[in-house]
Chain A
Amino acid sequence: MSGPYRIDGGAIDRGRSLAFRFDGRSMTGHPGDTLASALLANGVRLVGRSFKYHRPRGVFSAGSEEPSALVELRNGAHREPNTRATVAELFDGLEAFGQNYRGSLRHDLLAVNDLLAPFLSAGFYYKTFMWPKSFWERVYEPAIRASAGLGRLSGEADPDSYDKGFLHCDLLIVGAGPAGLAAALAAGRSGARVILADEDFVMGGRLNAETHEVNGRSGTDWAAKAVRELASMDRVRLLLRTTVVGAWDHGVYSALERRTDHLAASNGKPRQILWRIYSKRAILAAGATERPIAFGGNDRPGVMLAGAVRAYANRFAVGAGRRVGLFTNNDDGWRTAADLTARGIEVAAVIDVRDRRPLADVPGARILMGGRVTATWGRRGLKGVELASGERIALDCLAVSGGWNPNVHLTCHHGGRPLWRPEITAFVPGGGLPEGMTVAGAANGTFTTAAALAGGHRAAAAVLDGLGVSVAAGEAPGASDEAAGVSAFWHVRESRGRAWLDLQNDVTVKDVVQAHREGFRSVEHLKRYTTLGMATDQGKTANVGALAIMAEQTGRTIAETGTTVFRPPYTPVPIAAFAGRSRGREFRPTRLTPSHDWAAGQGAVFIEAGMWLRAQWFPRPGETHWRQSVDREVLQTRGSVGICDVTTLGKIDIQGRDAAEFLNKVYANGFAKLAVGKVRYGLMLREDGIAYDDGTTARLGDHHFVMTTTTANAVLVFRNMEFARQCLWPGLDVHLISATEQWAQFAVAGPNSRSLLRKIVDPEHDISNEAFPFMACGEIGVCGGTPGRLFRISFSGELAYEIAVPARYGESLMAALMAAGEEFDAFAYGTEALGVMRVEKGHAAGPELIGQTTARMLGMQRTVSKKKDCIGNILSERPEMNREDGLELMGFRPIDRSQELSAGAHFLAPGAEATMENDEGWLTSVAWSPELGHAIGLGFIRNGHARVGETVRAWDGVRGRDVPVEIVSAHFLDPDGERLRG
C-alpha cells in the first residue's frame, strides 16, 4: 500500500508504484494519482505556507481551482513554482517542494507574520509604508518582496520547448463530464467534426469522483466506455490535459495542452502546446466548482471541500482523514457522509446549517442540524472543531460544502455578465455569450447528473440542427436526479477567530468588512484593495463568498453586487507557452541576400535591417577597427570600383495599359513621359503630403515598369499601391507583383565600373556613355546569355550601375563580378560605406525620412509636380509645411576639422542656452568622410540655404558634446554630378 491513508477501490493502477519525493522525503504513489492524492495517501497534510501570514496550508480541493496546495515542482532549470499539487499528475521520480517558508516547512520562521496579523490587514502597506518617501524603494519594497510572494523561479532559461498549433471543428466541447460526454456522443454519432477538450488526465469529470450511475452502470465505467466510442470516431478529436483558457472572436478559442507535464522528461518534444481552435459552435460544459463556508480557523490543513474529499475517496482511493466531519449548507454535501461510510471511513459528525430533518442516517455520526462550526484547532493540521454550542469534536478532516458555482468564466470573455439565481444560490451564464456558444450541465446551473446528461445531449442536437447536420437517432443517457437543495449560508457569524475567504491571498471575512468600512464598495475595488481573487486560482473558491459578505455590508442583493470581470486565461498559462517557438534566434525569421554565403566566406560583419542580414563591412587582414574597413571600401569605390549587394531594396513589377498614369498618381513627380529604356528618381508622399519613400522606376516597355523602394518600406509601398489600384482607381488597367525576391541586384560603382561590366555584360549590348548614358536602363544578357537587367543609376555619386539577374544566379554573379574586377582591384563594400558615400553626396535616407519630412525640407518642392494630381499633392501645400523659415536639409562640417559629430545633436546659435525655444534643428546623419578627411553631417536647420557659411553649434546633451559647425551645401562631393555622368 502506498501510504497509510490509502483505501480500497478507486481508479489508480495498484500494479505499479511510482517513487516521488516531497520536501526531501521519499514516498510512493500509483499511476492515476495526482501529487495531492499521493501526499494525502502518505499522510502529508502540510504542503506549503500562505502568502502573507505564512500559515500552514494543505490540500483544499481536487482540481484546478486549488488555492492552497501550491508547490515547487521539479529541480534546477526545470523548477516550476506555484504548481497546484491537485493537478500535477504523479510520475516516477517526481520531486516537489513546499514553498513560501524560511527555515523549514514545519518550522517556518516567517510564521511570526501570523502574530503580526492585526497590523497586516487589508491595505496595510498602503497605510503603513508611507514615509519616509525614500524608504519605499530602498527598504520597504525589498523587504516586502522578500517575505511575500510564493514560489521561487529557477533564474535559469526554461530548458523545455513549447509549440503552438491550429485546430478546426464544427463543434468544440469544453469539458468532458456528463454534459460534455453526452454532447460529444450525440454530435460524434451524427458525423460532426468535434473537438472534446478536458483539463483532467481522465475524461468523465465528476462521474469519476462520485458514485452516480449512468445507464445502469457506474458513472466511471460509463464515461470510460463513452470515451472509447468517441476515440474510435475519426471526426472526433479528444484533447486530454487540455484547458480551454479563452474565448475570442469568431468562434476562436485558445487552449493549453500539457503534453509532457506528466512525464519525467519531455524527450525533445514540446512540453505544452497552445492551440488556437477555430470552431463553428461551442458547447461549454465546464462543470461547477464547490465553494466553502467561512468560519474561524477554516484554513487549517484538513479542512477541505466536501466534493474533493469524495473525489479522493472514490477516484484516488485515499481517505482525506480517519475521522471525518461534514459541514454543509446543502443536500449534495451529505453524499460525502454516505460515500465515506461506504468505504469504511469513520464519519464522526454531520453538521448542517439548516434547521430541518436530517437527509439520511449516518451510522456512528453525530448529526447536528442547525449547527455551526465556529473554530478549529490543531497546529499544522486539523485536530478538531468547536461548534457554536460550545461542543468540541475531535476530527482530522472536515469536509465543507457551501454549494456549487457554475464555471461561467468563458461565457464572460466577451463582456457578458453572469446572472444570480437565488434558488440555487449561484451565478449562472447571463447574456452576452461569445457568438456560437451554448452552455450545458452544471456550468449552466443544472447540477444533477440526469439533467447534465440530458442538457448536453439537447445542446448538441440544437447546435447540429443549426449547422444543418442531421442528428443521429438516440436519447440522452439516463441517470437519476440527486437531491440538490441548498441554502444561502456564507459564513459563521459566531466565529471569533479569523474566517478565511481566499486561502491563496490570506483574505478574511474581516478584511472584506474593513474594505467596505474604508469605502471600497465596488467589487472591483474590493478585489484590488484586499487582493481577493488574485493570482493562480483567481478566487475560484473565494469570490462568491466574498461577494455575499460585501452584499450583506452594503445592504444590497448579491445580484446587485455583481462579480468582478472574468478575463482569460481560465487557468494559468506559462509565458513560455505564449512565446511558443519564438525564442532566441527563432524570435523571427531571417532573410538572407543572394550573396550572403559569399559574404560570410569573406568574413563580412552583418547587421540586421528589418529581417534582413546585410553585410555591414568586409574586414581585410590587418584591419583592427571598423573605420579602417569602411574608409578603405569608400576610397576603393571612389578610386576604382566597388560592389554592393542591394537586393534588399523593394522591387515592384508594374504592368498594364494605364501603368504610366498610375505612376503619375502615386509619385509626386511626373512619370507619364518617361521614355522606354530610361530610369527616373521618384518621391512618394503620404495622403497628408509628407514624403515617405523614394526610389527609382525604370520603364522597360510601354506598359511595363519596374519600381524600386527603400528596403524598410518595401512592403508598405506595395500595400499602399495595391490599395490605390484596387480602391482609389479601380478603373485603371494596372497590375502589381513583387519582384524583390526574384532579382539579385548589385551596385557596381566607381570610375572603373563600366570597364568591369564590359567583361560581364554580353558584348552585343553597348554600354558606352553615349549608348547607355546616366539614367539609362535595359534588359541585357550576362555572362553568355543569362537574362539580366542593367540600370545606370548612382547612390554613391560615382559612375555607377545596378545589375540584376534572377536570384538563383546572384551568388554566382557576385563571384563573377569580383573575378572580373580583380584587375581593377575591386572590393565588395557594405552598408556602412554605402551610408558614408550617400552622406558625402547629400542623399536623404531613413534618418531624414522620419514621417515629418516635407518635399520642401528636402529641397524638392519643385519635384512635386503641379501639372498633375498625385497622392498628397494638395495637402503638401499647407502653409505651415511651406514656411520660408522652415527646416531645410543642409550639410554641416566642424569648424575644428578634428572634431567628431553626433547624429541627433541639436543646432543652437553661438552662446544660446540649450532650451526648446532656442532649438534650430538637428543633425540627422553623420559620417567620417575619408575623401575629405574630416567628419561631415546632414541635418535640418531653419532657413538653411540662406545661411550657408554661418556657424552654429551642434549640441548633444546625451553625449556631452558641443561642436561649432559650419552650414554648407549638403553635396560635399561633386556637386554638379560630373562623376556620375562621366
Chain B
Amino acid sequence: MAEFALKARAPLDGYARTFGTISLAEEAGLSLVSAAVPQGGDDALAAALAAGLGAARPATGDSALCDRYGARLLGMQPDQMFILFEAPDPDRAAETVGDALGPAAYVTDQSDSWAMLRIAGAGARAALERICMLDLDAAAFPEGRVARTVMEHLAVIILRDGTDRFLLMSPRSSARSFLHAVEVSIGNTAG
C-alpha cells in the first residue's frame, strides 16, 4: 500500500443545475480516447472497429454507436475519430481502446483534456444561439452530428445526442470560464 493515494477531481466538480426547462450538468464519468488512422489503414481500421467495438467508422462530422461499452465514435477529422465511452477502468481508457483496435489505430487518452457539459431541455437551443455560431436547426445539425467550433473564444466540440440534448466539450483548464459562458447564455434567454 502506497503512502499516498491520488484522488481524481472532475473539471467542474460534478456541477449540475436546473434553470426552468433547461438542465445543465457536467458529464464526469466518461472517458474519451482519440484514435488516428495510420496512412493506408482505412480497411484495417474498419475491420478492427467491426471486430473490436462492433461499429462502423463514422464520416467526419458524424457519430456512430458501438455495440461494446455503449461507446460512441465521433468523426473528428479525415484521419481521426474520438471514442466516448464508460471505460471499465478509466485509468486504462486508452489501453482499452488500444486493445480493441490493435495496430489499426494510434490511440491517445483525451479524457482529462475536455470538460464535458450536457445541456438539455426545450430552451437549450435558444441559449446556445448566443454563443454557438453553428446552425443547430434539426435539418442542418441532426441528432448524432458532431462538430468542432468556438464559443466565447474557447474551443468546443459539440455533439447532438437528442432533440434538445447537446454534449459540449471544452478544454479542462478553462472549464470554469466555459461554464460561466453557458450559464450566462441560459440566464440571458430563459424565463
Verify if A738 is at the interface (C-beta below 8 Å from B): yes
- Among A163, A268, A591, A760, which residue has its beta carbon within 8 angstroms of that of B130? A163
- Among A586, A704, A784, A810, which residue has its beta carbon within 8 angstroms of that of B5? A784
Report yes or no: B4 in contact with A809, Cβ–Cβ below 8 A.
no
Nearest Cβ in chain A — how far from B79, in angstroms?
A: 7
Report yes or no: A703 in contact with B106, Cβ–Cβ below 8 A.
yes
Which residues of chain B come closer than 8 Å to A467, judged between CB atoms?
Answer: none
Verify if B135 is at the interface (C-beta below 8 Å from A): yes
A-B contact count (CB 8 A): 147
Residue in A273, A592, A612, A813 with the greatest tally of chain B CB atoms within 10 Å: A592
Residue in A592, A737, A782, A819 with the greatest tally of chain B CB atoms within 10 Å: A737
Stretch from B43-51, B53-61, B62-70, B172-180 at the A interface? B172-180
Report yes or no: A808 in contact with B137, Cβ–Cβ below 8 A.
no
- Among A276, A733, A762, which residue has its beta carbon within 8 angstroms of that of B133? A276
Which residues of chain B come closer than 8 Å to A189, judged between CB atoms?
Answer: none
Verify if A270 is at the interface (C-beta below 8 Å from B): yes
Q: A168 vs B134: C-alpha distance in the bound complex, in angstroms?
A: 8
Q: Is the interface of A mostly helix, strand, loop or mixed?
A: mixed
Report yes or no: B9 in contact with A812, Cβ–Cβ below 8 A.
yes
Contacts known (A168-B140, A589-B174, A735-B80); A808 close to B9, Cβ less than 8 A: yes
Residue of B nearest to A759 (CB): B3
Q: A732 vs B133: C-alpha distance in the bound complex, in angstroms?
A: 34
Nearest Cβ in chain B — how far from A822, in angstroms?
A: 11
Contacts known (A742-B113, A783-B2, A806-B112); A592 close to B8, Cβ less than 8 A: no
Stretch from A83-91, A174-182, A535-543, A652-660 at the B interface? A652-660
Q: Is the interface of B mostly helix, strand, loop or mixed?
A: loop
Nearest Cβ in chain A — how far from B136, in angstroms?
A: 8
- Among A168, A612, A812, A820, which residue has its beta carbon within 8 angstroms of that of B173? A612
Q: A737 vs B91: C-alpha distance in the bound complex, in angstroms?
A: 19
Which residues of chain B come closer than 8 Å to A166, judged between CB atoms?
Answer: 129-130, 132-134
Residue of B nearest to A810 (CB): B9
Which residues of chain B come closer than 8 Å to A741, judged between CB atoms?
Answer: 112-114, 171-173
Nearest Cβ in chain A — how far from B31, in angstroms?
A: 10
Which residues of chain A come closer than 8 Å to B4, judged between CB atoms?
Answer: 759-760, 783-784, 816, 819-820
Report yes or no: B91 in contact with A786, Cβ–Cβ below 8 A.
yes
Question: Hey, what's the 0/1 contact readout for A783-819 against B, CB within 8 Å counting as 1?
Answer: 1111100000000000000000111111111001001
Which residues of chain A come closer than 8 Å to B129, judged between CB atoms?
Answer: 165-167
Question: Hey, what's the 0/1 contact readout for A189-219 against B, CB within 8 Å counting as 1?
Answer: 0000100000000000000000000000000
Contacts known (A589-B152, A657-B38, A737-B80); A784 close to B2, Cβ less than 8 A: yes
Nearest Cβ in chain B — how far from A203, in angstroms?
A: 21
Report yes or no: B110 in contact with A809, Cβ–Cβ below 8 A.
no
Instruction: Classify chain A's interface size.
Output: 35 or more
Which residues of chain A come closer than 8 Å to B106, judged between CB atoms?
Answer: 655-656, 703-704, 735
Q: A592 vs B11: C-alpha distance in the bound complex, in angstroms?
A: 10
Which residues of chain B come closer than 8 Å to A656, judged between CB atoms?
Answer: 36, 38-39, 106
Question: Hey, what's the 0/1 contact readout for A732-749 against B, CB within 8 Å counting as 1?
Answer: 110101111111000000
Which residues of chain A come closer than 8 Å to B172, judged between CB atoms?
Answer: 741, 807
Verify if A868 is at the interface (C-beta below 8 Å from B): no
Residue of B nearest to A808 (CB): B8
Report yes or no: B6 in contact with A805, Cβ–Cβ below 8 A.
yes
Contacts known (A611-B174, A741-B171, A807-B172); A812 close to B36, Cβ less than 8 A: no
Question: Which residues from 129 to 165 on chain B have a C-beta closer than 8 Å to any C-beta of chain A?
Answer: 129-135, 137, 140, 152-154
Which residues of chain B come closer than 8 Å to A647, judged between CB atoms?
Answer: 173
Contacts known (A270-B188, A807-B112, A807-B172); A737 close to B34, Cβ less than 8 A: yes
Verify if B122 is at the interface (C-beta below 8 Å from A): no
Verify if A458 is at the interface (C-beta below 8 Å from B): no
Which residues of chain A come closer than 8 Å to B134, judged between CB atoms?
Answer: 166
Verify if A961 is at the interface (C-beta below 8 Å from B): no
Verify if A581 is at the interface (C-beta below 8 Å from B): yes
Report yes or no: B137 in contact with A193, Cβ–Cβ below 8 A.
yes
Residue in B40, B173, B177 with the greatest tally of chain A CB atoms within 10 Å: B173
Which residues of chain A come closer than 8 Å to B5, judged between CB atoms?
Answer: 783-784
Q: A738 vs B181: C-alpha distance in the bound complex, in angstroms?
A: 23
Verify if A164 is at the interface (C-beta below 8 Å from B): yes
Question: Hey, what's the 0/1 contact readout for A903-924 against B, CB within 8 Å counting as 1?
Answer: 0000000000000000000000
Verify if A269 is at the interface (C-beta below 8 Å from B): yes
Q: A743 vs B174: C-alpha distance in the bound complex, in angstroms?
A: 15
Report yes or no: A737 in contact with B130, Cβ–Cβ below 8 A.
no
Report yes or no: B108 in contact with A737, Cβ–Cβ below 8 A.
yes
Report yes or no: B36 in contact with A816, Cβ–Cβ below 8 A.
no
Verify if A470 is at the interface (C-beta below 8 Å from B): no
Question: Hey, what's the 0/1 contact readout for A640-660 against B, CB within 8 Å counting as 1?
Answer: 000000010000010111000
Which residues of chain A come closer than 8 Å to B110, judged between CB atoms?
Answer: 737, 742
Which residues of chain B come closer than 8 Å to A786, judged between CB atoms?
Answer: 6, 91
Verify if A420 is at the interface (C-beta below 8 Å from B): no
Report yes or no: A590 in contact with B79, Cβ–Cβ below 8 A.
no
Verify if A133 is at the interface (C-beta below 8 Å from B): no
Which residues of chain B come closer than 8 Å to A168, judged between CB atoms?
Answer: 135, 137, 140
Contacts known (A276-B133, A656-B38); A812 close to B80, Cβ less than 8 A: no
Verify if A490 is at the interface (C-beta below 8 Å from B): no
Verify if A242 is at the interface (C-beta below 8 Å from B): no
Verify if A25 is at the interface (C-beta below 8 Å from B): no
Report yes or no: A806 in contact with B109, Cβ–Cβ below 8 A.
yes
- Known contacts A592-B174, A742-B111, A784-B2; 17 additional CB pairs below 8 A are A168-B140, A269-B188, A586-B180, A589-B178, A590-B177, A656-B39, A703-B106, A733-B38, A735-B79, A739-B108, A759-B3, A783-B3, A784-B6, A808-B10, A808-B111, A808-B112, A812-B7
Query: Could you pull out 21 A-B pairs where Cβ atoms are within 8 angstroms?
Result: A163-B185, A273-B130, A278-B135, A611-B174, A704-B106, A735-B106, A737-B36, A737-B80, A742-B108, A742-B109, A742-B110, A783-B4, A783-B6, A784-B5, A807-B112, A808-B8, A808-B11, A809-B8, A809-B9, A812-B8, A813-B6
- Nearest 7 pairs of A and B residues by beta carbon: A784-B2, A589-B177, A735-B36, A655-B106, A807-B112, A591-B173, A168-B135
Interface residues of A (CB under 8 A from B): 161, 163-168, 193, 268-270, 273, 276, 278, 581, 586, 588-593, 611-612, 647, 653, 655-657, 703-704, 731-733, 735, 737-743, 759-760, 762, 782-787, 805-813, 816, 819-820
